[in-house]
Amino acid sequence: MGTKRQSITMLENENEVSKDAAACVGSVKGLKENWQQWSDKHQKYQKHNPFSHDTKPSVLVPQRGQDDYGRPLQGSMTEQRGKDACTHISREVQELCEVIRNIGDPGQKDGNGREEEIITVEFGKLFERYVTISNKLVGILLRARKQGLVDFEGEMLWQGKDNHVVITLLQ
């Protein structure tokens, strides 16, 4: 059929093909192992991912209606940051009340048959004085009103528009 030379060449080609096939099979095996490693690592990561459906909470999470629901875990950094923020805001509210005492006008209020001394200040005057101290005066005023320390009309105060709104220091 063919010459001896052609037979030898065909055998060499078959050997090369079988080597390539072996290399291909080896690389597929390597790909499979790499894929499996990635898959195992990803599954492990997903167990700790709070947004994954595979998450198994390691700590009992409070349910609606329980006292701890919507609160950070006790002893966590989140709880500590919240406490620090509360302390900081409380200091700012106290500082605002002190500024109102210093620049406000004393007056009298008739409350339940007795005279009470109150301190009032217009928002514009307070804004001009307090703007050098803090740029969040309105937020601090809203917090102070929520705590029952000051009172003013309206839901929100705007510079310019509400400069003549009277702010009353209650305590």
> Residue 116, CB half-sphere, CA atoms under 13 Å: how many?
12
Alpha helices in the chain (DSSP H): 4-48, 77-103, 123-130, 137-146
Query: Residue 80's pLDDT is what?
Result: 93
Query: Residue 27's pLDDT is what?
Result: 79
Annotated domain spans of the chain: 1-57, 77-169
Query: Residue 158's pLDDT is what?
Result: 87
Backbone angles phi, psi at 115, to 5 degrees: -85, 130
Taking Cα atoms as reference points, which of 94, 149, 104 lies closest to residue 126?
104
For the segment 118-159, what is each residue's pLDDT rounded down to a tens digit? 889 998 899 888 777 777 888 999 999 999 999 999 888 888
What is the SS3 assignment for 167? strand
The top-level CATH class assigned to 77-169 is mainly alpha
> How would you list the strands of the sheet with 114-122, edge to edge?
105-111, 114-122, 166-169, 150-151
pTM over 0.85: no
Interatomic CA distance for residues 148 and 137, integer angstroms: 16
Q: What is the pLDDT along the chain (171 residues), one digit of tens a residue?
A: 556 565 555 556 555 555 555 555 567 888 888 999 999 998 888 877 777 776 665 666 677 888 878 888 788 898 999 999 999 999 999 999 999 999 888 876 655 656 677 889 998 899 888 777 777 888 999 999 999 999 999 888 888 888 889 999 987
